[in-house]
Structure 1
């Protein structure tokens, strides 16, 4: 232990000493001068620094150009980056500086760093022909300290085998810290210590999730694995419970009153949180006033409160297969803020006057009070559209007619229509999947989407152009960059094999040809493959204060204003818009940029959790079908296998390359295929194959197929 401690001190000193040379333009210095610059002037420290310099010289870190004087052999021997763990326990450090090369770190030199951690590494002097390699000297920030896994309990101790494949170490848990967990149960464990030289970290069980295979256990395990809390802290619930549902006359007097104007919501049949409503009235001049009324969450959730801190931390609601984990406590998300029918509700609205060609004649932004006349499900609204009769049919048909014009204009301007199939599960009372179906998107869905897009676009445009005056106002935008042309060209080459042409000459031509492609593939077996590859060739949309356009929607200005019950960026947008309408100065850009980056990261994490829940339900559904044979389509290829999606039920599993017995297959990444080395047989993305369900591992959410050749 003492030896390890000494080595560790020397590593840190190595860094400090190197910093001295870097700060002094790498001028030769003796050990006394280095000690003085570090304010380490006692004899013992000086001798240690001399040792560091001599050992560093032997290791090729320092040079001794003249007797007793040293300098760095190379500048910048240290860098910071993120740990990317490999399957054998070694890692690559992805540098924060994008111009630096990745650094290989052997398992014994990781200093207990885990996948995703931010670390500082010492990069060894590069030997001829060898890759960059180094040693972790400091863990700057842990990516995560909580892990889900299965607990194994013996008479003297317990340990948790983590679900995370990149967590290479079992976590030791003292028997006193097991929280009553039983052997084999799934738990959430938090790391508490990792003693110097110890092989395994020490942890304590924070939550017993339950028995493996139970629906609640597995869904909670997914939430915990991706860092989403399983409940709200008492202080947050207390704040939520203290908010009154009643609206005072004083508050109503401050707002534009829409309670006498026809207003309704259109949402999924099982929705409980209604955060947007549409109002409609025909004006005396023949134009149409359409109000997009959004739940006024920022009226109830004030910056700096416990409610606000929790909402910021979560940043988004999470939608698993069988449940919603809300960003706000139920009292707000399903109660006070939810725009339920036949109740007075407070809103923040974007109100537009449109002519018969859906041209905007005027617009207004501000606080409103509404009284929703009707709560439509998508199916009910669709019936009205198709049958041209029913509650408020004339108003809904006019709204639908105008929405069609807005939609066509959007695509004409270069927006891209990605219509991938969305799979839903029919669940029994225990959450077990008993059926799979594909969700259809019809006019009722698109109508609501078109008016939400209109509000989001015009709010962003209003801030960026109307209100800015001489100064740019800090705002939270939703931006989407142009695609990487190299990636897009690769996709275009692949799509051409199916007979589809992608014109990459200009942004408009790209959008036009992608829309033709999306229309042509609808309902065909290759739809999901080509749609998902097209989406992957695009940049990812993010939140930022740096205004750029939204490529996918072809909007120069875009934000998220319409869902503050379930997205924190929308809450920030409401606050900023209200401040600027009141004449306030521009807000702190740094705070909102950090908050935007956090929201983007949490959005990605929520999407991963949702995918994990779908994977689990797919595995659970196919568990009853092991041995069955299905027609499938190849949806992905990797160096270890190919992913196949069953056409009948859209469940996806893997055929492992080592188990295809007629040849030795290798990956051809460029051409999205695997090729047999002797017979040259090829399996390509989009090919139809016949598979048998070989094995299902619920705990790992894995489905294994075998090829029926």
Structure 2
């Protein structure tokens, strides 16, 4: 058997060296091709194979040889020896065995089949071929013959495994039953709900349902309501609906809460014997003013030899949350806290996140710490990782810390100013070594007591934020280096585990070359340059120069967004690849175990390798956990964006008809996306509303072009718009160009005056 990626194709044994006519650079005659191809299809009876899989049986082949093999397969199909189910794919065994397995995809209302075989491309499906499949189901498909006996169409023949999914929407009630309707395009039919499965929901409520079955003889699937979220339009209902839409929890199981309440808060003498005591060292937290979970603190003292000792102290969640416990199981399932506009959905129960583990002032707390010795130039002289007990003397908000940095006065000003100076030196050195300076402003809403947005604030990174950021980055990098580079003597303690043990890394891969070239071509139209060659550090420096050059320019937000989109997504893995965006060869997440499960995993692994000296954990199992954490992180980020979009639309409802200035941030056949300068809300100017011409999207040059007038709309252009519609249900804003409305008003014929 030969395995390639995740597929297995049985291939005949290759002839001994000197006996085979195949191989790169050698002629393959038709007789040999037919002989080997027949053996491949014979040993893979009933399987659809593409010509590349047949080529694999010949060893390494060049393009000329591949063409010869493909042509021979076509000839075999013409003689009826095998059948070509579609261009490039062949089968031996007939219609009953022409079967593939994979996943049904219905995102956006476009049905397709995603084969399990990674060598095969996704295949479109017609609506009549879907049977009772639902988005995400594992299915089997067969090729269906047309009247001429050719395989021309795929048909779903079996539902192999139903995807456990829930949907958010509302009910249309009738006597004795109801139908569930939703804006979710993954669901292609309304769902029939028996009256006794509605949980008493009304047509004004938002509900969460699950599919219970779909009889092939029925037009609609059947389902049941599993939760009534509340009345549509209510703030809590809508926030819970966003969470439920992405399969994220919006409440905590009572049994988990009870388990958390049973945990002891005592600081015991027995435990203190295994920890370094930092309770006498100046320690403080710096967080947002509304924060409740303080998971990191900084300690500071000047040493007699002129060095500075900076401790990065992280809540020791691993002391309280034991592997396999009910709290741990729930935390793993969630994998992350979720931050919506008006609330936090914590990974851990409130007793842990806000009390036991929160590094609150004037309370003794267990911590996992990185303690650094730095010189005047912020050069790292030594680092050690230790379990500690700390006592924070002061809780600063970012605003308070920033005031000390600006004025030089305030509580513990000398320590704050020293930490600020060291952080800025670390920051400058980081960017000098290739870290990329992405700094997009964040949107924050001021809400009234009912949760309605009354103001929008644009939050920007200030030196107080950078102070915390730089020391957290230093701690994360140091922890990763301790495991990835066990020979380092400037980081203690040493690893006693043989080899390089499996570990959780936070990686960010280099950008795709094609995307980078596209970005370089595009920014060139604005008069900027971007290197695409010369190594990672040179490209990063060029990208930083671009971000500096566009600062304050009209195209800044749009080009920054495009640059971010050209980057790969950061993720968790056991592979030691490094972090391109930060310019670090080793990096992990260590500093937020209250809100991120991978950080808790890192704490446990540190204890296992540095303190207990146990052998490495199983890498494959750890990788599965990393994949789960990455997936949940992505879901949480999507839910956060959805909540921001909802509040943006809600904020703009009272502003219908008002004029705003904006920048074009996106273009498509269906219209122009505009981001408002004042509040960063984004909406669409539909192409159908551009009445002066018929506009065509020029994808190469990122612009809409009028077919008759030649007028263009390009990315980065400034426009004046009027808010035309605000659809809360779809989280969608529609804009109209102000000039269009003015033109229409000026052409309205006024009635003649009567005297």
* TM-score interval, smaller chain: 0.7 to 0.9
Deviations 1:44-99 (A, max 9, x none): xxxxxxxxxxxxxxxx999689xxxx942699954444433265x55122344443
Q: Which whole-Å CA distance do the structure 1 matches of 2:560 and 2:155 have between them?
A: 42
Question: Partner residue of 1:343?
Answer: 363
**CA-CA distance at 1:325 after TM superposition:** 0.5
3-state SS of paired residue (1:624): helix
Given the superposition, is the C-alpha separation of residues 29 and 572 from structure 1 closer, same or farther in structure 2, using an over 3 Å criterion? closer
Instruction: Please show how residues 603-618 of structure 1 align to structure 2 within 5 Å.
Output: 603-618=633-648
Q: Which residue of 2 is the match for residue 410 of structure 1?
A: 430
Equivalent-residue separation in structure 1 for 2:672 and 2:349 (angstroms): 42
- CA displacement 1:284-306 (0-9 Å, x = unmatched): 11111111111111111111111
Go from structure 1 to structure 2 and tell me whether the alpha carbon gap of 1:473 and 1:547 turns closer, same or farther (over 3 Å shift).
same
Does the CA-based 8 Å contact 1:62-1:73 persist in structure 2?
Answer: no
Tell me the distance in 1 between the aligned counterparts of 2:45 and 2:590.
62
- Match of 1:205, SS? strand
Deviation at residue 669 of structure 1 after TM alignment: 2.2
Instruction: Quote the residue 1:471 is aligned against.
Output: 499
Which of 571, 574, 587 matches 1:558? 587
The match for 1:221 is 241
What is the aligned partner in structure 1 of residue 344 from structure 2? 324
Per the TM alignment, residue 170 of structure 1 is displaced from its structure 2 partner at its CA by: 1.1
For the structure 1 residues 686 and 586, does the alpha-carbon distance in structure 2 shift closer, same or farther, using more than 3 Å as the test?
Answer: same
Aligned pair partner of 2:104 in 51, 68, 83 = 83
**Match among 401, 415, 419 for residue 399 of structure 1:** 419
Match in the other structure for 1:55: none
Cα pair 1:61 1:73 within 8 Å, conserved? no
CA contact (8 A) 2:311 2:370 kept: yes
Question: Gapped runs of 5+ residues in structure 1?
Answer: 1-17, 32-59
Is the CA contact (8 Å cut-off) linking 1:90 and 1:107 kept in structure 2? no
Q: Does 1:515 align with 2:544?
A: yes
- Aligned position for 1:10: none
Partner SS state of residue 543, structure 1: strand
Match of 2:597 among 565, 568, 573: 568
On the 8 A contact 1:90/1:106 being kept in 2, the answer is no
| 1:28 CA drift (Å) | 10
Asked if 1:704 corresponds to 2:734, the answer is yes
Distance in 2 (CA, whole Å) between partners of 1:437 and 1:480 is 30
Do structure 1's residue 593 and structure 2's residue 614 form an aligned pair? no
Aligned length: 656
User: 1-side partners of 2:640 and 2:449: how far apart?
Assistant: 20
1:62–1:445 CA distance, 2 compared to 1 (3 A): farther
Cα distance between partner residues in 1 of 2:159 and 2:573: 28
Bigger drift between 514-523 and 293-302 goes to: 514-523
Distance 1:90 1:612 in 2: 22
- Cα displacement (A) at 1:472: 2.2
CA contact (8 A) 1:632 1:688 kept: yes
Residues 245/469 of structure 1: CA separation in 2 closer, same or farther (3 Å cut): closer
Q: How far 1:638 moved relative to its partner?
A: 2.2
Match of 1:4 in 2: none
CA contact 1:316–1:603 (8 Å) conserved in 2 = yes
Looking at structure 2, the residues matched to 75 and 491 of structure 1 have their Cα atoms a distance apart, in angstroms, of: 49
2:556 — aligned with what?
527
Would you say the 8 A contact 2:497–2:614 is kept in 1? no
Q: Closer, same or farther in 2 for the Cα pair 1:267/1:406, shift >3 Å?
A: same
Q: Who is 2:509 aligned against? A: 481
Which one is further off, 140-149 or 607-616?
140-149
- Tell me which residue corresponds to 2:649: 619
Q: What's the secondary structure of 1:186's corresponding residue?
A: strand
Give the TM-score, by structure 1 length. Answer: 0.88
Query: C-alpha offsets along residues 421-479 of structure 1, whole Å, 9 cap, x if unaligned?
Result: 11111111111011111102100101100000000001001001113865221001000
- How far is 1:354 from its partner? 1.1
1:439 aligned to 2:459?
A: yes
Q: 1:53: which partner in 2? A: none
CA–CA distance in structure 2, aligned partners of residues 317 and 303 of structure 1:
19
Residue 181 (1) aligns with residue 201 (2): yes
Partner SS, residue 389 of structure 2: strand
Give me the whole-angstrom Cα distance separating, in 2, the residues matched to 1:298 and 1:199.
51
* Separation in structure 1 between the aligned mates of residue 617 and residue 210 of structure 2, nearest angstrom: 37
Find out whether 1:495 has 2:523 as its counterpart. yes
What residue number does 1:421 align with?
Answer: 441
C-alpha displacement of 1:210: 1.3
Farther-moved stretch of structure 1 (150-159 vs 344-353): 150-159
Q: CA deviation at 1:509?
A: 2.1
**Could you say what the CA RMSD is over the residues aligned between the two structures, in angstroms?**
2.7
Q: Does the alignment pair 1:647 with 2:667?
A: no
Judged with a 3 Å threshold, the aligned counterparts in structure 2 of structure 1 residues 571 and 140 are, in CA distance, closer, same or farther, namely farther
> Match of 2:85?
none
Structure 1 residues 299 and 106, CA gap change in structure 2 (3 angstroms): same
Cα distance in 1 between the residues matched to 2:470 and 2:138 = 41
Q: Report the 3-state secondary structure (helix = DSSP H, G, I; strand = E; otherwise coil) of the residue aligned with 2:532.
A: coil
Unaligned runs of 5+ in 2: 1-9, 11-36, 47-76, 83-90, 487-494, 740-755
